[in-house]
Chains A and B, each alone.
Chain A
Amino acid sequence: MRGALRRRDFLRVSGGLGLSLALLRAGGLARGAQAASAASTASGVPAYDAWEDVYRSEWRWDAVTWGSHTNQCFPGGCSFRVFSRGGIVWREEQSATTDAVSADYPDFNPQGCQKGCGFHHALVSPDRLLHPMRRVGARGEGRWQRISWDEALSLVADAILDAHEKAGAQSVVVDAPHIHAGSVALSGIHRLAYQLGALVTDLNVAIGDDLKGIRHTFGTMQLGYSADNFFDAELIVLTNSNLSYTGPPMYHFLTEARYNGSEIVLLAPDYNATALTADVHVPVRPGTDAAFWLGICQVILTEGLLDAAFVREQTDLALVVRSDTGRYLRAQDVDGGREDQLYFYDETVKRLVPAPRGTLRFAGVPALAGAYPARLADGRTVEVRPALALLREKLDRESTPEQAGAACGASAELIRSLARKIARRRTCCYIGFTSAKQYHGDLHERSLLLAMALTGNWGKPGTGFNCFLVPIEHVAVLMAMERPAARGGLLGLLAQHLRLEATMWWKDRDVTDAVVGAELMSLHTRRLGVVPPVFFLYHHAGYAKLWDDPAWRDPSERRSFGEALRESVANGWYDAQQARPGPDQPPRVLMLMAHNPLRRERSGRSLYVEELFPKLDLVFAVETRMSSSAAFADVVLPAAWYYEKEDTTITFGMNRAMAFIEQAVAPRGEAKPEWEIFAALARKIRERAKARGLGAYRDALGDERRYEDLDGRFTMHGHLERHDDVVREYMTIAAATGLFEKGATYETLAQRGQLVFAGLGRGSSIQAATRIEPGKPYYSLRDHVERGEPYATYARRAQFYIDHPWYLEAGEALPTFKETPPIGGRHPFRLVSGHVRGSIHSMHIAVPEFLRLHRGQPVLFVNDRVAAARGVSDGDHVRLFNDVDAAELMVSTSAAVGPDQVVVYMWEPFQFAGWRSHDAMLVGMPKGLHMAGGYGQLRHVFASGSPSPASDRGLRVDFVKVTGV
């Protein structure tokens, strides 16, 4: 006698093709688990396997809500179901509701990684902040006193008012507030800073996610594709990234493209976990990617693989350059016309003709070779040559496959064979943000893009490269909108746009939407008080002593970083609004939101603590967890985390949708959602100002503001009190920008849990020069390729020849290869770094359930043979050091690490002895050349442009075994 009838029925009914629920619903019970046990009692005899109910009773819940995570992982915004039991989030599971664009492509499901599937553990992690606290010991001592919200807000409000009185509104600095806190929090912190006239250091530039080479080539970073675009590629080249760590939800598009016949090439100094999906792993030495790509370009040109039509139309390489000055031939030289009117040599009419600026279309045939006489306005005749001729000469001189191979470590034969493949196949690149963290990352990107240009590999299905396509106009607009969108809140912006467009058109009849858009962004940036981070760091956080070290300067740069900074300001390339805080504008109050500068700012662990904090009257943190940086704050304000507040995600364009986050449970302890914290703080500042008899202050643009309006303006006079108010407002704005299908409302979002993009929003679609078409993946730069729309660069073309005087002087007018300078000293190993697998930055890094997925502590990966030669074994502790600092880590030996490198991912300083993390030795040397301005795309706008204080890849380090650990 065996088997309960119930099980047999179950098998018969399910038939291997899915289960009829009729049986399980017998008894009318609501939950699957309960229904199953009821069925067993319904048979009348207690079945032997009734013990199975022990486990069945585990799989139950009493509420399901939509969830996601706004920690800015890549691409972010996975839609989840959140299951709660007894007021506690019990678990989450991907909602798996993202269909494919058509039957020809893989769908996006289930879409969500271990960080998302285990996030609920973070809610109850012992590093959570549960109450407002003030420090009672020295900064960083870890002695805290629990205080009320009212006391905490009063402390902060008074410090802000003191700062206003003593040094003006700009002495309150919001340091690089991070999207980790959420869309609503990001709108909120900028909105508060805008109202207060505070300065905000630019997050994206500060963290080094600013891919300057891409921006310098195309005039924008708003470029990319949806992940299913991989499926159309015949060749996929992944570089400066480790998608298996950083993009698990999208990784399957790679493995599936491979099964679909695509070939996958990974350029990475180490054999990282993404190499597993590659056909070819090219172990380029750290910081030598540009050499590899220039070798590719040389082969393309030498072997006649050039897509000449594409190059003529889409790039600046047919524009002619003066042999005497190295600068473009300009109308200014020829007839006193526009400075930015450049020339082709037209082979059909055999003469120099102005290159059209309002379109890429050109009736003639621009020459790509040769030397031609150009008669100047002053009567002289000079020789001019197409930029491609200069490029060809330079590559033949410096970048033969043999030369490139010697520099980067790939064989000449491999470079040749890959060049041929790139030229003959639909090739799609994926450029990780590590590129922006190389000192010469811009040169790497420009070299890669050059290879793509020479082979016509963008603006077509299965081609292109990924960058920073982030459709977030709704979040950005709300930072400064004065009235609800439904009551004309967007009209001000529209009016500003029209005014600007008219003004610009008056000066230049060839002005385009993208050029106007960039200018509008610049105005918005100023209005929000968003400033390049280097002024704050250089003048006030002690970075001058690192960044001006002459021993570490790139030999091709004439100026120290500080000299470049000062000369740039003197030239007017950064004006008084942008170049803040100046040396005589010391900050008084520092606010941190989801920002952990002791980890994230290179050498911040030492310089923030030793140089910056002592100058400040107050450091306060709005945080969900006690980060290493919050541990040094004077006041900590506990913030609600995902599932404890309503929000929407910010997604990179690789993901096609924006997800909804419902409040599933009450915030833990006394934590509050950020928007409510900011509203309460604004209210408290008004009250305290009134008590002090203070009336007015000046904002970022120097306009007078009144304290009595502060909280009213922040909340739009009660319209935006809570997170759900803000999410509703987002939906109204998004309806206007065309982000979602027509008619999509807050209710649609709440019902579906996510909304698939119908468009990219007005600004993003102009910048990305693309649109979303039903049934197809999307990819950028289509409008240039399909319609001949000019690019928003100085040359109005994809620009590979940057004839800015500083670039000419540094030998970087054309893409070139330069070694990483010896920042931090000359040592035998190159440091390779990136995101750890089990955490988004440091957000989950101290959560026990995540720490138990690895050794639970920082690890340094070292080549197994190198370690053995140095007497270091797996599990030993070593001291990693350079001239700047040192850190102790456990060694993990692996053949996946090249003999000339060591690998360390990101950790919290508090995981290191003495809280001395390896971050302290990174310096983050910004490239002085990036202070260049006054030239088209070489400028700062929100999230892009100006030097990044974040270069750290390929720095040289050494290690010694620590005994007695």
Chain B
Amino acid sequence: MKGGSTKAELAASRRQLAAVIDLGKCMGCQTCVMACKSLWTQRPGTDHMRWMSVATCPGRGHPRDFERKGGGFAPDGRPQRGELTTLVDCGDAFRFNHDEVLFAGAGQSKRLEPASAHGGAPAWGYNWDEDQASGQWPNPYFFYLPRLCNHCTRPACLEACTRNAIYKRDDGLVVIDQQRCEGHRHCVEACPYKMIAYNPVTATSEKCIGCFPRVEAGVAPACHRQCPGRTRAYGYLDDETSQVHQLVKKWRVALPLHPEYGTQPSVYYVPPLSPLAYDEQGNLTETMRIPGEVLERYFGPDVHRALATLREERAKRARKEPSALMDLLISRVWRDRFGGFTRDPAEAGS
């Protein structure tokens, strides 16, 4: 049983479920966030949690400043120290005063306003820096970065847990045993992506469970399936027929976020194309306006090759030549995105 297993055994899995998120299709609509939140984090102690989040990039991200909080592994494989996140970093859970404003006879003397769940006016919250662009007018730029647990191949959280409460399932999903967890939060410190949040009611750490109850029933995870931008591909990475395999392994246009963290994520990103930049005379250049070095900071040096491939293949379509890569990214049949996990949830329960 996993309870008595070594770390190596806990970290082993037969296969790896993986996801690709196409940032060129993401519109930052937060539907994935809503889909996840409604499903998994309506319980006591979870209101500040977002197992799925979307932040404007470049920016402080979600959780706030996660890229500055350490964790993960050094190039030589040694674990790196990390910091905890606060409930506010994770997004706060504003309280509102509807009754006071609308039903209590206060006239117009009160306005509906957020209060931090920890008192006072909020100074930060989830998606606080929404749509705040970088660069300078007339060449501002930003993109959206949807994030969930990376269900890493080398999960730093798993290695750090003193309770052996974290393990990889045989399908590759990393989960925290809620009965074994005692809320020490070494996992939070160790996770360089800071996608683990503390539940102050149950005094345990919680994170994305990869929608395993859905996946077990053949239904794609809620965030992937409910994405109206059709940004997501999903399936087993070793399934050569799956779009995740083709985008990650064959075309190599989907890259992990911050590969330098050393945890080998299972969520991959197709880097975003962006509008062409203007020169000083206001004429268009041939350069896309998100600087390559900015994208490299997120996705490593491979991003340049991936972007070149995307542009070349797209140019083929503009010339009316076929492109198997563009067909994959378009995915005319939405179901094809989900590596066989195509069951209708409404029927999964009947």
Partners in one complex: yes
Taking the complex as formed, is A461 at the interface, i.e. its CB lies under 8 A from any CB of chain B? Answer: no
Q: With A and B bound together, what is the CA distance between A32 and B350 in angstroms?
A: 8
Q: Which of A56, A255, A899, A911 contacts B25 (CB 8 A)?
A: A255
For chain A, give the interface size range.
35 or more
Contact segment of B148-156, B189-197, B341-349: B341-349
Number of residues of chain B lying within 8 A (CB) of chain A:
132
B106-137 interface mask toward A, CB cutoff 8 Å, 1 = contact, 0 = none? 11110111100000001101111111111111
Contact A280 B275 (CB under 8 A): yes
Instruction: Return chain B residues, CB-CB under 8 Å to A59.
Output: 39, 211, 213-214
Q: With A and B bound together, what is the CA distance between A140 and B99 in angstroms?
A: 14
Contact A259 B37 (CB under 8 A): no
Contact segment of A95-103, A158-166, A504-512, A666-674: A95-103
Q: With A and B bound together, what is the CA distance between A36 and B209 in angstroms?
A: 15
How far, in Å, is A109 (CB) from chain B's closest CB? 4
Contact A51 B180 (CB under 8 A): yes
Taking the complex as formed, is B9 at the interface, i.e. its CB lies under 8 A from any CB of chain A? Answer: yes
A788-813 interface mask toward B, CB cutoff 8 Å, 1 = contact, 0 = none? 00000000000000000000000000
Instruction: Return chain A residues, CB-CB under 8 Å to B281.
Output: 411, 413
B178-198 CB contacts (< 8 Å) to partner A: 178-180
How far, in Å, is A23 (CB) from chain B's closest CB? 10
Instruction: Return chain A residues, CB-CB under 8 Å to B333.
Output: 100, 103, 107
Contact B30 A114 (CB under 8 A): yes
A906-950 CB contacts (< 8 Å) to partner B: 908, 910-915
Chain B residue with minimal CB distance to A143? B105
B1-58 CB contacts (< 8 Å) to partner A: 1-5, 9, 12, 14-15, 22, 24-31, 33-35, 37-40, 43
> A8, A120, A854: which has the most chain B beta carbons within 10 Å?
A854
Q: With A and B bound together, what is the CA distance between A865 and B267 in angstroms?
A: 36
How far, in Å, is A20 (CB) from chain B's closest CB? 8
Q: With A and B bound together, what is the CA distance between A851 and B272 in angstroms?
A: 28
Contact A251 B98 (CB under 8 A): no
Instruction: Return chain A residues, CB-CB under 8 Å to B39.
Output: 58-59, 91
Q: With A and B bound together, what is the CA distance between A19 and B219 in angstroms?
A: 9
How far, in Å, is A638 (CB) from chain B's closest CB? 13
Contact A271 B140 (CB under 8 A): yes
Chain B residue with minimal CB distance to A81? B346
A146-193 CB contacts (< 8 Å) to partner B: none
Contact B113 A127 (CB under 8 A): no
A870-897 CB contacts (< 8 Å) to partner B: 874-875, 892-897
Q: With A and B bound together, what is the CA distance between A861 and B316 in angstroms?
A: 39
Q: A17-B340, A18-B341, A851-B96 are in contact. Are A910 and B101 (CB under 8 A)?
A: yes
Instruction: Return chain B residues, CB-CB under 8 Å to A81.
Output: 344-346
How far, in Å, is B286 (CB) from chain A's closest CB? 11
Taking the complex as formed, is A585 at the interface, i.e. its CB lies under 8 A from any CB of chain B? Answer: no
Q: A7-B170, A120-B38, A414-B282 are in contact. Are A93 and B226 (CB under 8 A)?
A: yes
Q: Which of A36, A849, A857 contacts B113 (CB 8 A)?
A: A857
Instruction: Return chain A residues, CB-CB under 8 Å to B300.
Output: none
Taking the complex as formed, is B162 at the interface, i.e. its CB lies under 8 A from any CB of chain A? Answer: no
Contact A106 B330 (CB under 8 A): yes
Q: With A and B bound together, what is the CA distance between A641 and B73 in angstroms?
A: 51
Chain B residue with minimal CB distance to A251? B27
Taking the complex as formed, is A578 at the interface, i.e. its CB lies under 8 A from any CB of chain B? Answer: no
Taking the complex as formed, is A260 at the interface, i.e. its CB lies under 8 A from any CB of chain B? Answer: yes
How far, in Å, is A58 (CB) from chain B's closest CB? 7
How far, in Å, is A232 (CB) from chain B's closest CB? 13
Contact B125 A856 (CB under 8 A): yes
Contact A52 B212 (CB under 8 A): yes
Contact segment of B63-71, B79-87, B235-243: B235-243
Taking the complex as formed, is A611 at the interface, i.e. its CB lies under 8 A from any CB of chain B? Answer: no
Instruction: Return chain A residues, CB-CB under 8 Å to B308.
Output: none
Contact B111 A913 (CB under 8 A): yes
Contact B114 A7 (CB under 8 A): no
Q: With A and B bound together, what is the CA distance between A31 and B213 in angstroms?
A: 11
How far, in Å, is A908 (CB) from chain B's closest CB? 7
Q: With A and B bound together, what is the CA distance between A16 and B123 in angstroms?
A: 45
Instruction: Return chain B residues, CB-CB under 8 Å to A915.
Output: 108, 111
Taking the complex as formed, is A141 at the interface, i.e. its CB lies under 8 A from any CB of chain B? Answer: yes
Contact B29 A852 (CB under 8 A): no
Taking the complex as formed, is B252 at the interface, i.e. its CB lies under 8 A from any CB of chain A? Answer: no
Contact A117 B332 (CB under 8 A): no
Instruction: Return chain B residues, CB-CB under 8 Å to A261.
Output: 314-320, 326
Q: Which of B144, B226, B316 contacts A110 (CB 8 A)?
A: B226
Taking the complex as formed, is A787 at the interface, i.e. its CB lies under 8 A from any CB of chain B? Answer: no
Contact A252 B40 (CB under 8 A): no
Taking the complex as formed, is A295 at the interface, i.e. its CB lies under 8 A from any CB of chain B? Answer: no
Taking the complex as formed, is A144 at the interface, i.e. its CB lies under 8 A from any CB of chain B? Answer: yes
Taking the complex as formed, is B203 at the interface, i.e. its CB lies under 8 A from any CB of chain A? Answer: no
Instruction: Return chain B residues, CB-CB under 8 Å to A848.
Output: 94, 96
A403-443 interface mask toward B, CB cutoff 8 Å, 1 = contact, 0 = none? 00000011101100100000000000000000000000000
A221-275 CB contacts (< 8 Å) to partner B: 244-245, 248-249, 251-252, 255-256, 258-263, 266, 271-275
A24-39 interface mask toward B, CB cutoff 8 Å, 1 = contact, 0 = none? 1000001111011000
Contact B14 A8 (CB under 8 A): yes
Taking the complex as formed, is B296 at the interface, i.e. its CB lies under 8 A from any CB of chain A? Answer: no
Taking the complex as formed, is A487 at the interface, i.e. its CB lies under 8 A from any CB of chain B? Answer: no
Contact B111 A912 (CB under 8 A): yes
A sample of 9 cross-chain residue pairs with beta-carbon separation below 8 angstroms, ordered by A number, consists of A8-B170, A83-B346, A142-B106, A259-B24, A279-B276, A849-B37, A852-B125, A910-B108, A911-B113
